[in-house]
């Protein structure tokens, strides 16, 4: 595949952009693969990429029932941070954040990583204590964060009202190298690199059943026929329960809609990401100028990928005390994705009771930031049967009562 470069752009400009290759090949399923990944979201594609790059496993198919990146990967608000409380979480999220730093060069694809800084507001005394504790934990984990004063918050975000009557800003947990990246570009960049390694990305191909013999996976049934494989990776976020059911096992998670919305575009007014978890809202400004706004999950389990009016109203109402300028903005559009939430708000990256079948799910409201770290660890688990990054995230933690409690870092926060 031809590399993208300034020279290539100049060359194509001179010949009316007629010489670009397709970013990835259109593939039809072969009879058999060494590895099948179900789900062409960021996590599935990253897994395939690191299987090829780190372990030389390239006889791989990635099966997607819709279009590549059309699940939560193309629906999220793109926040990247690694300021989690527990050690296993900090390790995998910081691995991911550090891979984001060089992802554009690594994939030869501009993912627009923007380390503009992420701020989690403390608006109650309880949050002050919680975030100070997280800052101390992060220091021990080698994750660079600090607890900052209200004055520093105001200096970083002048449009904020820090003296609200109900929820004044009492400080914030600040991660200066957190930020955002372009979500579609992350999926497209990995897809291009996977296709370049000879892997087959097969869209419009829903997995409808899992074939097994003697307790071992042998392949999948799909809308494009049966396909055999040695190893199977399920990476389908909100549909994980349905896939596990096909494999004959159950997962301790719930699927629920999470919504977001954007305002009309306005001039640059905020160059960091702000999360206000007590009031259930967070916001950043996109390169186009839209304010990208998100809130909490729906209060009931569902498989809806649309937005609902009351959610937009509640989220904006929650943020208006801290951001009075929002009352003057028109909202442009809203949407939803189906997130997969575990009881301890940590992911499941694990072998399953079905031999040869692995699962990566439970990223809930906050898995975009984890894509490269998750792909790195899951690929290692699938290739070698073990990975230091994923060891603690096994399914067995639920039967052993060994939870990785991230309800503070990952409940509303993304
Ligand atoms: C509104 C919203 C805001 C969010 N904000 C953030 C944020 O700011 N920061 C952050 O870190 N995270 C955020 N997230 C969470 C993040 O988007 C997800 O954790 C992450 O994208 C999950 O990626 P994935 O690859 O696991 O899943 P997905 O991208 O959903 O990919 C799974 C794929 O599997 C496919 N699939 C399902 N069933 C089948 C089948 N039977 N056969 C074949 N294919 C199948 C689906 O079509 C889908 O494309 C947000 C999520 C939402 C919805």
The atom number, within ligand 1, closest to the CA of 243 reads: 41
Q: What distance in angstroms lies between residue 67's CA and the mean position of ligand 1's atoms? A: 12
The atom number, within ligand 1, closest to the CA of 364 reads: 19
pTM of the model: 0.97
HSE-CB for 121 with a 13 A CA cutoff: 32
pLDDT tops 90 at residue 299 = no
pLDDT in tens, 99-125: 999 999 999 999 999 999 999 999 999
Q: Is 72 in the pocket of ligand 1 (CB under 6 A)?
A: yes
The atom number, within ligand 1, closest to the CA of 363 reads: 19
Q: What distance in angstroms lies between residue 72's CA and the mean position of ligand 1's atoms? A: 3
Q: Is 24 in the pocket of ligand 1 (CB under 6 A)?
A: no
pLDDT in tens, 243-277: 999 999 999 999 999 999 999 999 999 999 999 99
Q: What distance in angstroms lies between residue 73's CA and the mean position of ligand 1's atoms? A: 5
pLDDT tops 70 at residue 414 = no
Q: What distance in angstroms lies between residue 135's CA and the mean position of ligand 1's atoms? A: 28
Q: Is 414 in the pocket of ligand 1 (CB under 6 A)?
A: yes
Q: What are the helix (H) ranges across 64-179? A: 87-101, 103-107, 125-141, 150-156
The atom number, within ligand 1, closest to the CA of 374 reads: 26
Looking at the chain, the whole-number percentage of residues with pLDDT higher than 70 is: 98
Closest Cα to atom 37 of ligand 1: 236
Q: Is 178 in the pocket of ligand 1 (CB under 6 A)?
A: no
Q: What distance in angstroms lies between residue 340's CA and the mean position of ligand 1's atoms? A: 9
Q: What distance in angstroms lies between residue 75's CA and the mean position of ligand 1's atoms? A: 7
Closest Cα to atom 53 of ligand 1: 337
From 36, 49, 61, 72, give the residue whose CB has the most ligand 1 atoms within 8 Å, as the site to mutate.
72
- Tell me what the mean pLDDT of segment 127-135 comes to: 96
Residue in the structure block whose two tokens are 């049934």 = 221
pLDDT in tens, 44-81: 999 999 999 999 999 999 999 999 999 999 999 999 99
The atom number, within ligand 1, closest to the CA of 205 reads: 43
pLDDT in tens, 328-355: 999 999 999 999 999 999 999 999 999 9
Q: What distance in angstroms lies between residue 407's CA and the mean position of ligand 1's atoms? A: 19
pLDDT confidence of residue 304? 85
CA distances from 40 to 33, 134, 201, 408 (A): 16, 33, 8, 29
DSSP 211-270: EEETTEEEEEEETTEEEEEEEEEE--GGGHHHHHHHHT---SEEEEEEEEEEE---S---
Long-range contacts of 139-144, Cβ-Cβ distance < 8 Å, separation of 24 or more:
141/87, 141/90, 141/91, 141/94, 142/94, 143/82, 143/83, 143/90, 143/94, 143/175, 144/175, 144/176, 144/177
Please give the Cα distance from 375 to 331 (Å, whole number). Answer: 35
Please give the Cα distance from 349 to 375 (Å, whole number). Answer: 10
């Amino acid at each position: 595949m031809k590399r993208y470069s300034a020279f290539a752009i100049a060359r194509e400009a001179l010949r009316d952009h007629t010489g670009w290759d397709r970013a990835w090949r259109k593939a039809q399923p072969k009879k058999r693969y060494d590895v099948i990944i179900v789900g062409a979201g960021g996590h599935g594609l990253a897994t395939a990429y690191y299987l090829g790059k780190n372990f030389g496993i390239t006889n791989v198919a990635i099966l997607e029932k819709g279009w590549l990146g059309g699940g939560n990967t193309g629906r999220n608000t793109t926040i990247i941070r690694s300021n989690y409380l527990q050690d296993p979480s900090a390790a995998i999220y910081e691995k991911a954040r550090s891979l984001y730093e060089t992802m554009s060069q690594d994939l030869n694809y501009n993912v627009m990583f923007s380390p503009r800084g992420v701020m989690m507001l403390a608006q109650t005394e309880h949050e002050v204590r919680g975030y100070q504790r997280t800052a101390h934990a992060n220091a021990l984990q080698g994750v660079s964060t600090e607890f900052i004063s209200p004055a520093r918050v105001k200096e970083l975000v002048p449009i904020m009202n820090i003296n609200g009557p109900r929820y004044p800003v009492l400080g914030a947990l600040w991660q200066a190298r957190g930020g955002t990246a372009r979500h579609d570009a992350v999926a497209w960049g990995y897809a291009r690199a996977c296709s370049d390694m000879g892997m087959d990305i097969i869209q419009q191909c829903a997995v409808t059943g899992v074939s097994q013999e003697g307790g071992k996976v042998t392949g999948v049934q799909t809308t494009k026929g049966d396909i055999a494989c040695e190893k199977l990776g399920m990476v389908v976020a909100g549909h994980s329960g349905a896939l596990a059911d096909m494999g004959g096992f159950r997962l301790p998670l719930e699927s629920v809609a999470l919504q977001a919305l954007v305002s009309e575009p306005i001039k640059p007014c905020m160059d960091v990401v702000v999360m206000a978890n007590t009031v259930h809202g967070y916001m950043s400004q996109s390169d186009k100028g839209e304010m990208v706004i998100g809130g909490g999950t729906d209060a009931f389990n569902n498989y809806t990928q649309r937005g609902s009016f009351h959610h937009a109203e509640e989220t904006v109402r929650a943020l208006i005390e801290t951001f009075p300028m929002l009352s003057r903005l028109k909202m442009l559009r809203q949407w939803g994705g189906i997130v997969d939430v575990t009881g301890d708000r940590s992911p499941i990256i694990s072998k399953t009771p079905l031999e040869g079948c692995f699962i990566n799910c439970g990223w809930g409201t906050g898995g975009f930031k984890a894509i490269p770290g998750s792909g790195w660890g899951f690929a290692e688990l699938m290739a070698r049967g073990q990975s230091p990054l994923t060891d603690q995230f096994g399914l067995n933690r639920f039967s052993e009562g060994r939870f990785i409690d991230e309800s503070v870092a990952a409940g509303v926060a993304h």
